[in-house]
Structure 1
Amino acid sequence: MHFEQALKNIIERDQRFSPDAYLFLKQALDHTVEEHTKTDPDMSQHVTAKELLLGFKELALKEFGPMASTLFSEWGLSQCSDIGDMVFNLIEEGMFGKQDSDKRSDFVELYAFHDAFVAPYLPKSISNKA
């Protein structure tokens, strides 16, 4: 099945997240796998929830900078568990692989979206008070 058809199927049953959020998640997964294979060429294509969340954050800051928070809000994303929900929607469609040990609870709040995507861009005087 093509990613576009899988995305259509997901959106028909779960409209919480924008199609753009899924497309960015796929890019973040590719980015994360690519970064990990640079340091460990023998690594499998599977990444942990923590690795994916960190790769998602890294790519978002690189690609969107201070606009990441605004985009994610528009896309329906407000916390790490939202990313987990999208991952499992893609797993159900056969687009992402899953190991038996993988579960939604792996996507507990590794970081707060505000701390990751807003705080780095606040003026020092404001961010020190937060």
Structure 2
Amino acid sequence: MKVEIQNLRYGSAAYGFVLEAVRQRLGSMSDPRHLSGPEVADAARCLAVDRFGPMARPVLEHWGIHGTSDIGEIVFDLVDARRLIARPEDSRRDFEALFSFDKVFEDRYPWGN
């Protein structure tokens, strides 16, 4: 999915990936609603694991996503580009240190122990 963002700070695929994660999570809900920062980060985690398996972390890092705060930066870039909508109470801080990439992408595999 191609996403046009001014001043790309992340790989262009990263923006499409986060947007797709949001859309998939909303599509899986019986009554779609606004997603919180932790819900968006979890949606991205789930999509990464489903799509890339043990390569999830290297793929995300290739796009410049090294932690949940990067997911938040991408979300707010998408808000600025009018691809997503934020509520006044939404903040980049909502995405800070939600989970460790080591834990969710490495420790779950046998070689991570």
TM over 0.5: yes
Question: Are 1:73 and 2:61 an aligned pair?
Answer: yes
Match in the other structure for 2:87: 99
**Does structure 1 residue 23 correspond to structure 2 residue 11?**
no
| Identical columns (%) | 27
Structure 1: 4+ residue segments shifted above 6 A: none
Q: Report the Cα offset of residue 26 of structure 1.
A: 0.9
3-state SS in 1 of match to 2:4: helix
CA RMSD of aligned residues (A): 1.6
Q: Which residue of 1 aligns with 2:39?
A: 51
The aligned amino acid for 2:17 is F
How many residue pairs match? The answer is: 113
Superposed CA deviations along residues 107-129 of structure 1, whole A, max 9, x for unmatched, are 01110112111221243xx51xx
Q: Between Structure 1 and Structure 2, whose CA radius of gyration is higher?
A: 1
Letter of the structure 2 residue corresponding to residue 79 of structure 1? G
Instruction: Confirm whether residue 83 of structure 1 aligns to residue 71 of structure 2.
Output: yes
Q: Which moved more, 1:95-104 or 1:110-119?
A: 110-119
Give the whole-Å Cα distance in 2 for the aligned partners of 1:25 and 1:9: 13
Separation (CA, whole Å) in 2 of partners of 1:99 and 1:119:
34
Q: What stretches of structure 2 of length at least 5 have no aligned partner? A: none
The TM-score normalised by the length of structure 1 is 0.79
Q: Distance in 1 between matches of 2:5 and 2:18?
A: 16
Q: CA deviation at 1:73?
A: 1.3
Of 1, 8, 18 in structure 1, the residue corresponding to residue 4 of structure 2 is 8
Q: TM-score by structure 2 length?
A: 0.90
